[in-house]
Amino acid sequence: MYKIVYVIMIVILASFVAAGVVFPIPELELRPGETGRFQYVIQTGSPPQKCTMALDGKTPLLVEFDDDEAIIDVPAKSLYGTVKVPENVEFKDYEETFCVTCDPLSEGSGSSVKQSVCQIPIKVKVVRERTKQNIQLPEKPKEKINPINVIGTIVLIILVIVLIVFGLKRPKKVKSKQKQNI
């Protein structure tokens, strides 16, 4: 009887969706006013999953993730963020933390649990002068321009030009008609 219950428990636990986070790298060394990039890896047991990052905000550091939400469609995906040290901060070691919460996107067999991994550290040493070079990571991708916004802006500019051109022509015609009537 115990063996049957044990096997059932293993099957149930094995069917849960799992997610893990490799702690951010590197540990940054920055001066006040500088920015640095960090990388973290989300590993999922059964992709695809939608993962959301939430900053704890316990330090004066300004942390921004390249993506606050990410679709993890591979077993492990590297994600990036940026840390900025404000000008008026003390020289010391800081450790900002964040949480990653993942939800499965597809209905699968077995059970699924919303996985959350918290207290993931971002370590930054604020110094007067650097003693090491930080690892160079890819820059934050530039946001793509939405084609609808471009078309809307062009149409708006054309409308303004048309209104100006027709607005300037009409008052001249009215003035010349008034002169003829006198």
Mean local confidence (pLDDT), 69-94: 91
Q: Which of 62, 65, 44, 66 is nearest to 54 (CA)?
A: 65
Task: Work out the pLDDT band at 14, boundaries 50, 70, 90.
Answer: very low
Residue 167, Ramachandran bin (φ over 0: left; ψ between -120 and 50: alpha; else beta): alpha
3-class DSSP assignment, residue 71: strand
DSSP 142: P
What is the gyration radius of the CA atoms in the chain, in angstroms? 28
Q: List CB contacts of 39: < 8 A, sequence separation 6 or more.
A: 24, 25, 78, 79, 80, 137
CA pair distance 76, 70, nearest whole angstrom: 12
* 10 DSSP β-pair partners: none
Q: Which CATH superfamily is domain 2-126 in?
A: Immunoglobulins (2.60.40.10)
Q: Mean of the per-residue pLDDT values for the chain? A: 76
**Stretch (H or E) spanning 68:** none
Would you say residue 86 has pLDDT above 90?
yes
Virtual torsion, Cα 60, 77, 50, 83, nearest 10 deg: 10
**pLDDT tens profile 39-48:** 888 887 777 8
Query: Exposed, middle or buried, 114 (CB in 10 Å: 0-12/13-18/19+)?
Result: exposed
DSSP 88: T
Q: Are 60 and 33 in contact (CB under 8 A)?
A: no
Longest dimension (CA), the chain: 114
Would you say residue 175 has pLDDT above 60?
no
Virtual torsion, Cα 157, 161, 162, 164, nearest 10 deg: 140
Would you say residue 173 has pLDDT above 60?
no
Q: pTM higher than 0.75 for the full model?
A: no
